[in-house]
Amino acid sequence: MTPYELLALVLIIALARLVLSLPPLVAQSQGRTRTIAHEYLDPFIVAGIAAWLLITFVARTYYIPSASMVPTLAVGDVLLVDKFEYHFHSPHEGDVVVFPPPIPSPDDFIKRVIGLPGDEFRIVHGIVYRNGARLSESYTNERPNPDFNLEIRNYGIFVDDGGGWQPLSSSQANVPPRSMWTAPDRIPPHCYIMLGDNRNDSEDSRVWGFAQDTGRFDAGPRKGEAAGFTGRAFLIFWPPSQFHILHG
């Protein structure tokens, strides 16, 4: 249930409570409808409002529908996502994050933060290098594709999957215009490289460019729409056999 659906349900219950608490029209009524309103509907309203505040501003559950984050997250896992934390600090490298993607989608995406604003970033034969240092990625599912290369350079994202270097198009991917960059070979402000742990079966920043932590998408098919991070996934609580805290 989305926050909007929950809020609608609370409003319906509140309306029913208001109707039942109106003065009865039948002279012999002893006010039983008011008792019902107080005894049964008021607790539902209070609980509903508390739940709405919780899932809107603090935490929310998410279901994993795809294999793009295997082995960290399996299809069918249910997560608890902290929606409060990023009000106080930016995402860290390694965080598993839920966010609206810069391409049309009815659902949020969940990926791992790999590149941060201001980073030099490249992928060489499938191996990720951040600020010149090779990342130790024990969380990935299998050996990366040795034919894949990526570089942040010349105010763009350039990829080579075996057919030669090509820039990601700003009409198809969120690659901000040159004026938004602080250096031609560093990730722009408020932009992040997001990759799936199942690196060979994940549509991520290698295809649709940067995710953004604030503002509106600078480019791509959702240019001008609201961007941001929904929250950090920190706990798998279903199924019980997979119950554990997620670490970056």
Out of 83, 111, 202, 205, the active site residue is 111
User: Phi first, then psi: what are they for 34, rounded to 5°?
Assistant: -65, -40
Please give the C-alpha separations between residue 93 and each of 66, 121, 192, 197, in angstroms, as whole numbers.
22, 12, 9, 13
Closest CA to 148 of 140, 158, 139: 158
What letters, b where the CB count within 10 A reaches 16 and e where it falls short, cover 49-66? eebbeebeeebbebebeb
The side-by-side arrangement of strands in the sheet containing 166-167 is 133-134, 127-130, 121-124, 149-153, 156-160, 166-167
Six-digit token string for 237: 């609580």
Out of 68, 83, 202, 205, the active site residue is 68
Q: Whole-angstrom Cα distance, residue 187 to residue 194?
A: 12
Q: Is 68 part of the annotated catalytic residue set?
A: yes
User: Phi first, then psi: what are they for 129, rounded to 5°?
Assistant: -125, 130
Asked whether 216 and 208 are in contact (CB, 8 A), the reply is no
Q: Is 83 part of the annotated catalytic residue set?
A: no
List the catalytic residues. 68, 111
